[in-house]
Every structure is written in structure tokens, then in C-alpha cells.
Amino acid sequence: MSFFKAYDMRGTFGTDFTEETVYRVGRALPRVVPGKRWLVGRDFRLTSDAVKRALVAGLVEAGADVSDLGHCTTPMVYFFTAADGYDGSVMVTASHNPPEDNGLKVSMKTALPVGYANGLGEVERLVRADTAAYDPAAPEPPAALVPDALARYVAWQKEHAPDFGDLRVAVDCSNGAAALLAADLFPGAALLNATPDGRFPNHSPNPLKAEARAQIAAFVRENGLDCGVIFDGDADRAMFVDERGEFVQPDYLIPFVAQATLRTAPPEKPVRIIHDVRTSRAAIEAIREMGCEAVMVPVGHAFAKPILRKVHALCGGELAGHYYFREFAGCDSGVLAATRILGEVARAKAKGQSFSAMVAPVARRYANSGELNYKVADKDAAIARILAVAEKELPPETGRETMDGIRVEYAEGWFNVRKSNTEPYLRLIAECDTPARLRDWVGRFQAVL
């Protein structure tokens, strides 16, 4: 598969890309993203040091002045790109991918993402035409460390975090970059897997996988805690388990992130909250019931962030556990989302309400399939078969949205089918007014896949 994706560059090191690929990317980036001042950071993957070195070599050769955050979270790169006025930045990470993978997330001035459509496609063209060889034995190119970066970042997060008082919580850092921040930002929490280790020895760095959440779920149950937070490998996503250790579907929490953010935001009308095309109707209704305007966006940070800025949204989120904040340069921050949600859970606890009870009005409103993934030979043909089933066998439509795959609305529910931008899957999600109807719809779709 190509190293160049819709949102970033990502793949298996040594197979999909090499140090030389990254060196050539570094040479290409200043030709595509204007400006000389560049910032780089890296996660704790075993190949991240070598990848960063090759990247900086290419950037410097292309005339860039490079500053280095060292080991950091992806949101730290976003934060300093915007706060310190860099022209561009690159985070060396493969986020939640397996240990053998690595990649690059590129941003331009003000931390706007550079995806395939607005720059990475041209970078790929330049890289493929480049014949320059990389010498890993060459002296390390200059890159000045950003002074006091961790302290500055922790101070900002503390200033913007609500009080979550006596909440009894566990935080699973997944042996990833969140370990840099957890002790400072979650005082009193039980910390799991809080030693950075690029092998991810205890579980996958992808908290969407049930096996990755098993440890924190059991820990919360066994210790009678109020909830648990789990971060992915680069800490741009946060997910949650309730007091029973049950996973809380991330889109159900978008209204609560909005509610927490509204508590300290200056008054404005209208208040807009972004959500992706997979978001539960219950979450959308809850946003509207708060007096806010719900704005649907395509899946992925490269699409969500520009729209958040364009419509001047306050915040928002995605099914995958990304939560975006205007005050955070319009970017996603797993830590900021976690502290905001913990603040809401603490408020609920003060009223005698558990996390699960707090979320229940959203989570139990409809029956939701969660995102289902299918490997199919021809994705377009599979989508056509699903739409044919829908038109022939489902009730009359009430609306369609085609910004990312197709989301079809009905009085009784909705479904979205789309091609993954990052993996070889067709993704399907459905939601209905009753569990029986949901089983019926999903069964009809699966019969043609």
C-alpha cells in the first residue's frame, strides 16, 4: 500500500517506506508548504529516532530552520506550531498502528493539516521524482530543542482543565506518549502502562480494539473506580470506560465535551459543534437540545479542522475518539478531552449519578451497530449493492448526505457506508429506533457483502 494516505503518511517501516523516503519527504516539504521555520516531534516508536533524523536532514538540505520538540504527543506539535508561529511542522508517529509501523503527520501555519488533497499529493510526486540518496552515517543535522516545551504545555493544559475533585479514575497511557503528561495532569489517578515503550508490550495502542481496553476495564471494575481513560499511542485520542468497565462509544460523548467547553466559553450565537458523518442521531439531537447547531463533517482530522475554523465551531468530535477545540488551535487533544469529560463525570458524581447514568440519555436513545468493517474486493460495487438493498427493502428515505460515502436517513434510523481512507476496508454503521430493526437492517446489508 502507498505510504501517502488521505490524512498523513503511514506504513510499515522498511516495507512501505525507508529512511530515504523520509529524507526525500523532508526535501520536498518546504517546496510545497511555504516558509522556512519548521517544527518536528516524535513518538516513542523504536524507529522514530531514525525517521526524525532522516526527516530533519531533508528539511535542512531544503533550506529549513528546524526546531525539535523531542519526544512528545501529536497534540503538542499542533499546540507549538500555532502558539510559536511555525510555518510548518511534522510529527513522526503512526498513532495507533502496530509497533512495526511509523509515519508523518504534517501541518502548515496555524496547525492546519496538510492532507493528500492540499499538499501530500504534490509531496508524493516530488518524492517519486527525487533521486537523492540519504546517508545515515552523515553528521546529525542541526535542530534546536524547544526550551521548556513540556512545562509550557502542561501549564496550558492545567489552566484549561476543570476540577474533577475526588473522582476515582484510572488512566491507561498505552505505553505511549501520554505517559509524558499523565502524572502532572491526572494527579491521584491510578496510572497504567505509564512507561513509554515503542514495542507496546501490554496491549495494542489502538483503544478502539476491545482487547486494548480489557486491562483498564478490569482495573476499574476490580477497584470500584468511577471511570477509566485510555489514550492511543500518540495521545491525540482519548476513550473512556464507565464505572462498570463498559466502553463508552466516543460519539456519545460529543455533547458532554460541548457542555464542558460551554461552561467557560464566552457567550456567542449560534454555538456550532462539529461531528462526523458516523455520529449517532442521539448525540446530534443532544447537541441541538443544548441550543447548539450541529455541523456534520467528513471523517478525519484533515477535513474536520478546516471546517471547524470555517464555521467558527466551538468544539466537536468523531466516532474514532478525536475531539477538537477552537481554543486548542482548532485541533484535537486527547488530554483536553479527557479532563473535560472527567469534569462532567465529577459533576454528575456530586449529584449522586454515575458515568453510565450520565451518558444513558444519549447512549440508550437508539440501537447502534458501532462501526463494522468488511474486506471486499470491489468497494464501489459493494456500496452499490447496499444502496440497492436500501432502496428496495427499507422504508422511504428522509434525506441523504454524500460528503463522505453515503449517509441515508429514515424516520426509523440511518446508515452510513464509506470507503476507509486509511485501511483496506468498507465501513458500515447503522442506527435504528429498536434493536430488532437494527438487526434486520444490518442482516440485509451483510447478506450482499
Q: Which residues are catalytic?
A: 95
Residues 348, 123: Cα–Cα separation, whole Å: 48
Alpha-carbon dihedral angle through residues 300, 305, 311, 314, given to the nearest 10 degrees: 100
Residues 129, 117: Cα–Cα separation, whole Å: 19
Cite the DSSP H helix spans in 317-396.
334-350, 355-363, 379-393
Instruction: Please report where in the chains the cell 509524558 appears, as a residue.
Output: 180
Instruction: Please report where in the chains the cell 428496495 appears, as a residue.
Output: 392
31: left (phi over 0), alpha (psi -120 to 50) or beta: alpha
CA angle, residues 123, 126, 132, in degrees to nearest 5 = 120
Whose CA is closest to 232, among 358, 337, 354? 337
H/E stretch holding 238: strand 238-241
* Cell numbers given for 292: 447548539
Kindly tell me the burial class for residue 117, based on how many C-beta atoms sit within 10 Å of its own C-beta (0-12, 13-18, 19 or more).
exposed
Residues 106, 96: Cα–Cα separation, whole Å: 17
Whose CA is closest to 31, among 72, 64, 6? 64
- Strand order through the sheet with 169-172: 190-192, 169-172, 227-231, 238-241, 247-248
98 three-class SS: coil
Whose CA is closest to 120, among 344, 406, 393, 421? 421
Residues 355, 221: Cα–Cα separation, whole Å: 13
128 three-class SS: helix
Residues 100, 191: Cα–Cα separation, whole Å: 25
Signed CA dihedral, 278, 118, 64, 18: sign only = positive
> What is the distance, to the nearest Å, from the Cα of residue 321 to the centroid of all Cα atoms in its chain?
6
